[in-house]
Amino acid sequence: MQIDLHAHSTASDGTDTPAELVRRARAVRLDVLALTDHDTTGGWTEAVAALPAGLTLVRGAELSCVSEGDRPISLHLLAYLFDPADAAFVAERRRLREARWDRGRQIVARLVADGYPIDWDSVRELAGDAPVGRPHIGRALVSAGVVASVDEAFERLLHHDSPYYVAKQDTEVLGAIRLVRAAGGVPVFAHPLARRRGEVVSDEVIAQMAAAGLAGLEVDHPDHRGTDRAHLRGLAADLGLLVTGSSDYHGSNKAVDLGACRTDPEAYQRIVAEATRLPPVTG
Ligand code: AMP
Ligand code: FE
Ligand code: FE
Ligand code: ZN
């Protein structure tokens, strides 16, 4: 079984529509794909409607979270198979999307103030109904001829140490884990040691997350080097967490192929077993 538990569509900052994404998943011979757009379930319906025969879809999302220690550290939480109508979780996803909107405008305003030839309207148009993210701003910078690629936009202007960077108002992570569990879902810490995105949390914070109800760690991820994967595997064993692997595919916004990292069937079965309200769907 080929299982990829983390991918983005145009419902957030990927470039494949949800229908294109599930078709591509089958074309690259995946058996299971999780759709995990940032802070939204907006792509679920289209993905289910377009599901090819033989592909199983895990409906999910990737939540923007913050760990409040001495200084705030941003991190991502994958949420699988939760009830999309759970009122508290619906409200929090909406709040996150609104926070992204305000923050996107602030980043664009800072770029405009320095003379970069983009504007908020074009970024908004590029995002469409999706929660606004830095990749949308990156694409506006590509369209304006400022940079040649979204990657270059991140390297030069959009990275977390840039003067143009503005943090989002994310969800406190222990609360987010409880929110996902209360909605019947299964929370997995996305790319815990993706260091190029900024500071990463300590093992102590991961232990606190486990105590709050975390189910697993995404260990095999394109942004993790070998030593970090080995460390996370040990930590998962110590804390009784399951281990996943996934590509974090974003289409042409990022140079990673669907299925680049994968999850063992036993870990996938544990996730399905822990979900209390929403099963996977098979085409
Ligand atoms: P945001 O959610 O607006 O903070 O933007 C973060 C998103 O930008 C991540 O989910 C990735 O999709 C993307 N990203 C981060 N770093 C890079 C990079 N160096 N090149 C392209 N995309 C990136
Ligand atoms: Fe993304
Ligand atoms: Fe992420
Ligand atoms: Zn992701």
pLDDT tier at 8 (50, 70, 90 boundaries)? very high
> What is the 282 CA–ligand 4 centroid distance (Å)?
22
pLDDT at 70: 84
Please give, one letter per residue, the 3-state secondary structure of 108-142: HHHHHHCCCCCCHHHHHHHHCCCCCCHHHHHHHHH
Mean pLDDT of 127-149: 97
Q: Which residues surround ligand 3, an ion (CB under 5 A)?
A: 76, 190
Q: Is the CB of 76 under 6 A from ligand 1?
A: no
pLDDT value of position 69:
82
- How big is the chain by its Cα radius of gyration, in Å? 18
**13 close to ligand 1 (CB < 6 Angstrom):** yes
Q: Is the pLDDT of residue 30 over 90?
A: yes
Count CB neighbours of 231 within 10 A. Answer: 15
Q: Which of 120, 118, 77 is nearest to 101 (CA)?
A: 120
Q: Is 221 in the pocket of ligand 1 (CB under 6 A)?
A: no
Query: Given ligand 1 and candidates 12, 13, 105, 157, which is best to mutate, with the most ligand atoms within 8 Å of its CB?
Result: 13
Mean per-residue pLDDT over the chain, rounded: 97
Helix residue spans in 128-192 (DSSP H): 134-143, 150-153, 173-182
pLDDT tens digits, one per residue of 193-217: 999 999 999 999 999 999 999 999 9
Q: Please give the average per-residue pLDDT across 78-91, as a whole number.
A: 98
Q: Is the pLDDT of residue 95 over 90?
A: yes
Q: If DSSP codes are grouped into helix, strand and coil, which group holds residue 62? A: strand
